[in-house]
């Protein structure tokens, strides 16, 4: 057979294989079926991999398990060369080949798998020269197979988007209008989401915000993944700028502490990966029944609202622990809060700022320890007599009388405002 005849035969075989692959695109097949057909018909090893060379589907044709192990070894031992080939194929958006470097080596062809404008994976074929079709024919087959893989993955994406939209609409019904709908409807929505409508649940809301730009979808995706993997019992929904987790459980303090720790872990991850972005989380109280899920969501959102207004508070706030801040947050103008704080404690704050004293911190510890000099001293790492002296001095500087109920209450509220606004009202 002449070289031209061989080339014609290779091309004829490649066209026939492309036709078979095209017919598979109209069926409900998967990536494993595509690589199996490519490997079996073209006499090569085939795999679908992601950017990190993690294998998503693999087949070694007639080589069986041994061939699969050898292909995995090729991808691992020549990872740098394969990575460079993948990077170049991604840049050029077309299939590229890497010839065999020796008698025992294999040649590689990499074709990017594009779903719309997104490059989601790569189809890799490998084989010895004696086992493979001509290089041009294999490039054609690999590129066509990658297109079929893109059709399959695109179909999956459409189904996933549709399912996700339906899931989100059901979840929105529970968290947004659950308390204004029929109990039977709320219970049905919950069952469709795999939620026990009679169980006790609480809601964790994580909101991403930035002063300079809208939250990156990658940031909310990361938070959603972190919560879902670390709290598998939760129903987690990504609602663009916020991630909502519905967590089964009662009044267990351990669960509240666990969710608070998880929210803080998410916050640290967001800060590290997305500079300038801030995560604020709120935890609602536990409530029983599907129709009350919206109540816990509303509480979690109110806790988030307090965190957004009172920037000096923790970025993770439980509704049950808000105290007077639930009322203070109803004053939407921070200027009004600042004015009240300065009216009550302005002289004391100015004295601290000018002289480097810490009378406001001492008063905060004293009031939060219910007026106990001993406990406040332990918290401040000083002597009770020192705390008593500082409280007396703060009283005189501020022009207040702490034996007066109204003065004492006003000072406590003003301190909560000062600390909630970051100490700079």
Q: What local confidence, expressed as pLDDT, does residue 130 receive?
A: 42
Hey, what CATH class is 3-158 in?
alpha beta
pLDDT band at residue 12, thresholds of 50, 70 and 90? low
Residue 334: exposed, middle, or buried by beta-carbon count in 10 A (0-12, 13-18, 19+)? Answer: middle
CA 315/CA 385 separation, integer angstroms: 34
Q: Tokens at residue 222, please?
A: 């990361």
Q: Please give the residue that has the higher pLDDT: either 313 or 387.
A: 387
| Whole-number Cα distances in Å, 408 to 134, 135, 344, 371, 375 | 89, 86, 10, 11, 19
Whether 33 and 24 have beta carbons less than 8 Å apart is answered as: yes
CA 198/CA 210 separation, integer angstroms: 38
Model pTM score: 0.55
CB under 8 A, 24+ apart: contacts of 272-275: 273/219, 273/222, 274/216, 274/218, 274/219
State pLDDT tens for residues 153-183. Answer: 888 877 766 666 777 778 887 777 655 557 7
Q: Tokens at residue 48, please?
A: 């679908």
Q: Tokens at residue 410, please?
A: 């006003």
Q: What local confidence, expressed as pLDDT, does residue 127 receive?
A: 77
CATH architecture group of domain 334-420: Orthogonal Bundle (1.10)
Q: Please give the residue that has the higher pLDDT: either 34 or 326.
A: 34
Q: What local confidence, expressed as pLDDT, does residue 111 receive?
A: 92
Average pLDDT over every residue of 137-158 = 86
CA 198/CA 154 separation, integer angstroms: 38
- Percent of the chain having pLDDT more than 70? 81
CA 419/CA 323 separation, integer angstroms: 14
State pLDDT tens for residues 336-389. Answer: 878 888 888 888 888 888 888 888 888 888 888 888 889 988 988 989 899 889
Is 60 exceeded by the pLDDT of residue 64? no
pLDDT band at residue 112, thresholds of 50, 70 and 90? very high
CA 304/CA 107 separation, integer angstroms: 56
What number does CATH give the domain 199-328? Answer: 3.30.70
Is 60 exceeded by the pLDDT of residue 197? yes
Q: What local confidence, expressed as pLDDT, does residue 131 receive?
A: 44
Domain range summary for the chain, segments of one domain joined by +: 3-158, 199-328, 334-420
The residues pairing with 57 across neighbouring beta strands, listed in sequence order, are 48
């Amino acid at each position: 057979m002449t070289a031209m005849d061989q080339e014609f035969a290779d091309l004829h075989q490649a066209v026939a294989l492309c036709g078979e692959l095209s017919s598979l695109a109209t069926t409900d097949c998967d990536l494993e079926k595509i690589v199996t057909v490519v490997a079996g018909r073209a006499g090569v090893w085939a795999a679908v991999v992601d950017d990190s060379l993690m294998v998503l589907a693999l087949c070694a044709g007639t080589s069986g398990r041994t061939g699969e192990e050898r292909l995995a070894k090729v991808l691992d031992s020549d990872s740098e060369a394969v990575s460079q080939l993948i990077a170049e194929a991604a840049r050029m958006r077309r299939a590229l080949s890497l010839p065999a470097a020796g008698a025992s080596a294999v040649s590689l062809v990499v074709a990017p798998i594009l779903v719309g404008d997104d490059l989601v994976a790569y189809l890799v074929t490998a084989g010895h020269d004696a086992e493979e079709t001509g290089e041009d024919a294999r490039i054609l087959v690999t590129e066509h197979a990658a297109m079929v893989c893109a059709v399959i993955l695109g179909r999956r994406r459409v189904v996933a988007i549709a399912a996700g939209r339906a899931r989100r609409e059901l979840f929105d019904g529970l968290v947004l209008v659950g308390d204004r709908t029929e109990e039977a409807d709320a219970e049905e929505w919950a069952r469709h989401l795999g939620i026990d409508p009679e169980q006790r649940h609480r809601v964790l809301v994580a909101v991403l915000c930035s002063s300079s730009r809208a939250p990156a979808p990658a940031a909310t995706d990361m938070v959603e993944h972190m919560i879902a993997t670390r709290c598998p019992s939760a129903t987690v929904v990504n609602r663009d700028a916020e991630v909502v987790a519905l967590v089964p459980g009662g009044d267990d303090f351990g669960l509240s502490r666990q969710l608070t720790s998880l929210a803080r872990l998410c916050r640290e991850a967001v800060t590290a990966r997305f500079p300038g972005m801030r995560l604020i989380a709120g935890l609602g109280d536990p409530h029983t029944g599907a129709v009350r899920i919206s109540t816990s969501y509303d509480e979690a959102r109110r806790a988030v609202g307090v965190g957004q207004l009172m920037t000096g508070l923790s970025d993770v706030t439980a509704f049950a622990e808000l105290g007077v801040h639930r009322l203070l947050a109803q004053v939407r103008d921070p200027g009004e809060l600042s004015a009240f704080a300065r009216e009550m404690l302005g002289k004391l704050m100015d004295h601290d700022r000018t002289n480097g004293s810490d009378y406001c911190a001492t008063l905060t510890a004293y009031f939060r320890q219910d007026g106990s000099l001993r406990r406040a001293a332990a918290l401040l790492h000083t002597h009770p007599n020192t705390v008593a002296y500082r409280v007396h001095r703060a009283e005189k500087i501020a022009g207040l009388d702490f034996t007066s109920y109204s003065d004492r209450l006003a000072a406590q509220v003003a301190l909560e405002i000062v600390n909630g606004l970051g100490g700079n009202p």
